[in-house]
A and B are shown apart, each in its own frame.
Chain A
């Protein structure tokens, strides 16, 4: 942002302003994202859809502050992430964002309870949050699997652990990168329903990427990407 202030931009809960991302690939460059601008409101349940290589994951990574744009700005809750140091960005991620990954990404040496508790321990809070963690475990239907390690759980169960882990810090935004890609269609549907219920009941904003058309239909707000650009943006009821 060169001449404009945040106020002048009238930013929302999550705003992307002309975001570009270029990756070097040998001697050439790959333009993964080309001038994406978005404005997301709190409480939205958004799907970023598109074929493989359309830039879905890159956009999610930039919204989640785990990747930085080559050009443009990502503004989270009125904070331009470009101006933040790594320590501040990590801290912002920890308190503001929850992550759900395509391949679950659980810590293999921790059991269900410990995996969900993990983000809380990073805050070094002495206060025990056992009741909250147990509530989440119940919410995702893993009460009987509390002491099991990831390798003892099915794909669907692992993704439920990942959802509970994403929610444990009570983030305002949850980013899910292809959360159903490694699951069968029934389980995938249940996972999306679970996310939708949490969105409805707790008001948590969800942004998930998918290339599954059936799942896309569940979202309130759909952003379709093609070749790193927004091809279509749909709001339910519009």
Chain B
């Protein structure tokens, strides 16, 4: 205990030096904490933005191979999936039915390519909550079967307003060209870079455009509360569904990509199949690249931290060497009155430990402050960087695991840096130490 007390007092005794050295540690910790938090926040936001775009986190489709060998996405056996979802405890309210096509809107000689999502407005609570209508009323959208909601950006590009009728060209599920019409009943605020490439129409209308039964749908989109459960639940659903019906093998990240707003994957043709089968995919299957970017950012942050730490450690070693020479007299006195060598060493190591602790705490507080300030400056949604934000706000969620690892890292390294000066101090000959100041 006396070593700890002396260590604390010694730190307080050289305030300027402690502040400078602790400040250097704090700066390093601030940088890495911000990088870690930003990376985690960006990864979460990208997934969240995609989950909004893709309406959920887990996707189930039924693939039907027709006589001409073409594969059509259409739910012909929905009860199999519904039973399976009930069995593994997924709430029916978190399941959305959707159909979609790539269409081209034409109005007054202008055109815009859009993914038209067919949605059941009464059931799409998340969509209703996140969609900010700038013009039009939700009641009008729900009541008009031919209603479509466009983003502000697309409406502006087309020069169209509420009530205008748009011509839309698309392909049916069998590949035939088709033309339909939709009436603009809502113009929404651009919900980020990705959201602006989707338009929303009634599920029945979309089904009729792609020529499938109007009461049918192409995919089930399941929303879950926690991202961390996505893979576990997907595998569980895949297994359970496989016990009831034919299922496509789980796909790997290399097989898929997000093109515009459609989920595209390369079928595994090594196992030929006929009739119908279900495929189960999730958001992580499509966002593997995001995780790679996130890992790269984390590694970059770690490299920055290590470089900073290396610089800080040189400072710590030099400072403690200087401290040792400054305190030769004290060390000699303490040894003379009965302090053991290991206690002298502990005294220095505690000092390093407290220095790391104060620097670390200051760094975390600084990081929280900086992240709060950054939060005051939203990124415009048309900026590609907004993909990494939560409605334009850069978020910095606290990463307890990273905080703990950083704390251990900085403490262990600071103590290691102080180790050699501490050992030298402990091995000092008391008579020589006392003589040096005589």
Please give the residue numbers on chain A whose beta carbons come within 8 Å of chain B beta carbons, in ascending order. Answer: 57, 61, 64, 66-67, 86-87, 90-91, 93-95, 98-99, 101-103, 105-110, 118-119, 121-123, 165, 169
Q: Which residues of A contact B336 (CB under 8 A)?
A: 64, 66, 93, 99, 105
Whether A107 contacts B6 by the Cβ 8 Å rule is yes
Q: C-beta contact mask, B248-290 vs A, less than 8 Å → 1, else 0?
A: 0000000000000000000000000000000000000000000
**In the complex, A123 Cα to B340 Cα: how many Å?**
10
Total number of residue pairs linking A and B with CB closer than 8 Å: 76
Q: Which residues of A contact B405 (CB under 8 A)?
A: none
Closest Cβ of chain B: how far from A171's Cβ, in Å?
10
Whether A93 contacts B438 by the Cβ 8 Å rule is no
**In the complex, A87 Cα to B9 Cα: how many Å?**
26
Q: C-beta contact mask, B307-347 vs A, less than 8 Å → 1, else 0?
A: 00000000000000000000001101111111111010000
Whether, in the assembled complex, B110 has its beta carbon less than 8 Å from a beta carbon of chain A, the answer is no
Whether, in the assembled complex, B93 has its beta carbon less than 8 Å from a beta carbon of chain A, the answer is no
Query: How many residues of B are in contact with the other chain, CB < 8 A?
Result: 27
Whether, in the assembled complex, B1 has its beta carbon less than 8 Å from a beta carbon of chain A, the answer is yes
Whether A105 contacts B338 by the Cβ 8 Å rule is no
Known pairs A57-B438, A61-B434, A102-B438; A108 contacts B338 (CB<8 A): no
* The residue from B1, B333, B341 contacting A101, defined by CB atoms under 8 A apart: B333
Whether, in the assembled complex, B430 has its beta carbon less than 8 Å from a beta carbon of chain A, the answer is yes
Known pairs A108-B13, A110-B9; A122 contacts B338 (CB<8 A): yes
Chain A residue nearest to B341 in the complex (CB): A86
**In the complex, A66 Cα to B335 Cα: how many Å?**
8
Whether B333 contacts A122 by the Cβ 8 Å rule is no
Known pairs A108-B13, A118-B2, A121-B2; A93 contacts B431 (CB<8 A): no
Looking at B329, B341, B430, B435, which has the most chain A CB atoms within 10 Å of its CB?
Answer: B430
Closest Cβ of chain B: how far from A129's Cβ, in Å?
14
Q: Which residues of A contact B12 (CB under 8 A)?
A: 109
Chain A residue nearest to B7 in the complex (CB): A109
Known pairs A66-B431, A66-B434, A121-B2; A109 contacts B13 (CB<8 A): yes
Whether A103 contacts B438 by the Cβ 8 Å rule is yes
Q: Which residues of A contact B6 (CB under 8 A)?
A: 107, 109-110
Q: Which residues of B contact A95 (CB under 8 A)?
A: 338
Q: Which residues of A contact B330 (CB under 8 A)?
A: 105, 107-108
**In the complex, A136 Cα to B431 Cα: how many Å?**
27
Whether, in the assembled complex, B10 has its beta carbon less than 8 Å from a beta carbon of chain A, the answer is yes
Q: Which of B201-244 contact A (CB under 8 A)?
A: none
Whether, in the assembled complex, B176 has its beta carbon less than 8 Å from a beta carbon of chain A, the answer is no
Closest Cβ of chain B: how far from A180's Cβ, in Å?
15
**In the complex, A101 Cα to B334 Cα: how many Å?**
12
Q: Which residues of B contact A99 (CB under 8 A)?
A: 333, 336-337
**In the complex, A57 Cα to B9 Cα: how many Å?**
31
Q: C-beta contact mask, B129-173 vs A, less than 8 Å → 1, else 0?
A: 000000000000000000000000000000000000000000000
Closest Cβ of chain B: how far from A230's Cβ, in Å?
21
Tell me what chain B mostly uses at the interface: helix, strand, loop, or mixed: helix
Whether A101 contacts B338 by the Cβ 8 Å rule is no
Whether B329 contacts A90 by the Cβ 8 Å rule is no
**In the complex, A98 Cα to B333 Cα: how many Å?**
11
Whether A119 contacts B338 by the Cβ 8 Å rule is yes
Looking at B329, B332, B340, B434, which has the most chain A CB atoms within 10 Å of its CB?
Answer: B434
Q: Which residues of A contact B79 (CB under 8 A)?
A: none
Q: C-beta contact mask, B415-438 vs A, less than 8 Å → 1, else 0?
A: 000000000000001110011011
Whether A105 contacts B335 by the Cβ 8 Å rule is no
**In the complex, A102 Cα to B329 Cα: how many Å?**
12
Chain A residue nearest to B12 in the complex (CB): A109
Q: Which residues of A contact B430 (CB under 8 A)?
A: 66-67
Q: Closest 8 A-B residue pairs measured CB to CB?
A: A94-B338, A109-B9, A67-B431, A105-B333, A121-B2, A66-B430, A66-B431, A119-B337
Whether B1 contacts A121 by the Cβ 8 Å rule is yes
Q: Which residues of B contact A90 (CB under 8 A)?
A: 335, 338-341
Whether B337 contacts A87 by the Cβ 8 Å rule is no
Known pairs A90-B339, A122-B2; A107 contacts B434 (CB<8 A): no
Whether B338 contacts A61 by the Cβ 8 Å rule is no
Whether A103 contacts B437 by the Cβ 8 Å rule is yes
**In the complex, A119 Cα to B288 Cα: how many Å?**
63
**In the complex, A224 Cα to B24 Cα: how many Å?**
56
Whether B337 contacts A94 by the Cβ 8 Å rule is yes
Closest Cβ of chain B: how far from A6's Cβ, in Å?
24
Closest Cβ of chain A: how far from B308's Cβ, in Å?
30
* The residue from A64, A110, A122 contacting B339, defined by CB atoms under 8 A apart: A122
Chain B residue nearest to A58 in the complex (CB): B431
Q: Can you name 10 A-B residue pairings with CB atoms under 8 Å?
A: A57-B435, A86-B341, A87-B341, A99-B336, A103-B438, A105-B336, A109-B13, A118-B2, A118-B334, A122-B340
Chain B residue nearest to A168 in the complex (CB): B337
Q: Which of B66-87 contact A (CB under 8 A)?
A: none
**In the complex, A57 Cα to B332 Cα: how many Å?**
14
Chain A residue nearest to B6 in the complex (CB): A109
Closest Cβ of chain A: how far from B224's Cβ, in Å?
56
Whether B340 contacts A105 by the Cβ 8 Å rule is no
Q: Which residues of A contact B2 (CB under 8 A)?
A: 118, 121-122
**In the complex, A90 Cα to B339 Cα: how many Å?**
7
**In the complex, A95 Cα to B340 Cα: how many Å?**
13
Whether B343 contacts A122 by the Cβ 8 Å rule is yes
**In the complex, A90 Cα to B12 Cα: how many Å?**
29
Known pairs A109-B13, A121-B2; A101 contacts B339 (CB<8 A): no
Closest Cβ of chain B: how far from A12's Cβ, in Å?
23
